[in-house]
């Protein structure tokens, strides 16, 4: 895997659900092989933006462009990882990964690919397990394995760790950093968690309260593998981010209670 050379350009994207304006004037670039993190208060339209990027929601304004070259064996350029894992409970771990390869790869190759990504995500011994037998962390590893199996050009991750407990989150965060860095896949990563943002992001876009606009864009020009949560410069950036979104977060929280 030589890394992805695909760049995403979000230009003038806006969205409204009926009368509810959710996103306005979003201009962002996800550089090839790098991680763009989206943070913002709850309800500001992060998932909506990710849906628009992934071609699952038609924006009411603006466009998203994909430029570059995808690998020869890429089966699904824009590939999601879900907060709730989205595994089929009636398929085994291997079956869930195999699902996205069926009809696209001959059986031999498919089995080899499944084995490869399961090994990569530490699931080698769990190929035959049912999702319900796995912990949350293991389930999300299946989600990652499934995403990697299609050789994505871009990973679209919507709060992939937020359903997990703090310890599992820390473990998986390290694994993500390594996998993403190694594969060099262009990634858009949505999170509430500022710590995740500074650990994974090459570029961090801060969205405002709904309707979401880009309030600020920070760059952290450093390899993500090997970044430490205790690194003072990252802690400083985290603090800076928190200062930016605190007021919005409080207001968004109140809005949710009223709504």
Ligand X SMILES: Nc1ncnc2c1ncn2[C@@H]1O[C@H](COP(=O)(O)OP(=O)(O)OP(=O)(O)O)[C@@H](O)[C@H]1O
Binding footprint of ligand X on the chain (CB under 6 A): 17, 20, 22, 40, 42-48, 210
Task: Give DSSP secondary structure letters for 50-110.
Answer: HHHHTTSS--SEEEEEEES---TT-S-SEEEE-TT----TTS-HHHHHHHTTTTTS-HHHH
* Residue 91 near which of Mg ion, another protein, ligand X, none (CB within 5-8 Å, type-dependent): another protein
The distance of closest approach from Cβ of residue 13 to ligand X in the complex, given in angstroms and rounded to an integer, is 12
Residue 198: which residues within 8 A CB-CB, separation 6 or more? 204, 220, 227, 229, 234, 235, 237, 238, 241
Instruction: From the list Mg ion, another protein, ligand X, none, pick the one residue 44 interacts with, judged by a Cβ distance below 5 to 8 Å according to partner type.
Output: ligand X
Distance of CA 106 to the CA centre of its chain: 29
Pick what 130 binds: Mg ion, another protein, ligand X, none; C-beta below 5 to 8 Å, kind-dependent: another protein
Structure tokens at 235: 């802690």
Shorter beta-carbon distance to Mg ion: residue 47 or 195: 47
Which range binds Mg ion by CB under 5 A, 43-51, 102-110, 172-180, 250-258? 43-51
Question: Which of 10, 120 has the CB closer to Mg ion?
Answer: 10
**Beta carbon nearer to another protein, 90 or 232:** 90
Q: Which of another protein, ligand X, Mg ion, none sits in contact with 208, Cβ below 5 to 8 A by type?
A: none
The rounded distance, in Å, linking the Cα atoms of 47 and 52 is 9
From 41, 36, 35, 78, select the one nearest 56 (Cα to Cα): 78
103 vs 106, which CB is nearer to another protein? 103
Interface residue list for Mg ion (CB under 5 A): 47
């Amino acid at each position: 895997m030589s890394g992805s050379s695909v760049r995403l350009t979000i230009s003038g994207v806006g969205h409204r659900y009926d009368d509810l304006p959710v996103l306005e004037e979003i201009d962002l670039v996800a550089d090839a092989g790098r991680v763009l993190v989206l943070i913002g208060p709850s309800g500001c339209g992060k998932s909506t933006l990710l849906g628009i990027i992934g071609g699952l929601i038609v924006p009411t304004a603006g466009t998203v462009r994909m430029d570059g070259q995808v690998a020869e064996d890429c089966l699904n350029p824009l590939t999601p990882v879900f907060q709730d894992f989205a595994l089929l409970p009636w398929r085994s771990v291997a079956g869930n990964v195999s699902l996205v390869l069926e009809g696209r790869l001959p059986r031999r190759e498919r089995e080899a690919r499944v084995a490869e990504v399961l090994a990569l995500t530490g699931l080698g011994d769990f190929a035959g397990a049912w999702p319900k037998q796995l912990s949350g962390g293991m389930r999300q590893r299946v989600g990652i394995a499934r995403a990697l199996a299609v050789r994505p050009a871009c990973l679209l991750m919507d709060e992939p760790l937020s359903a997990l407990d703090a310890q599992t989150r820390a473990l998986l965060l390290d694994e993500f950093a390594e996998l993403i860095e190694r594969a060099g896949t262009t990634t858009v990563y949505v999170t509430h968690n500022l710590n995740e943002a500074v650990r994974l992001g090459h570029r961090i876009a801060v969205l405002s309260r709904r309707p979401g606009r880009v309030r600020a864009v920070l760059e952290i020009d450093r390899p993500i593998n090997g970044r430490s949560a205790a690194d003072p410069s990252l802690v400083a950036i985290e603090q800076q981010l928190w200062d930016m979104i605190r007021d919005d977060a409080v207001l968004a929280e109140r809005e949710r209670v009223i709504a």
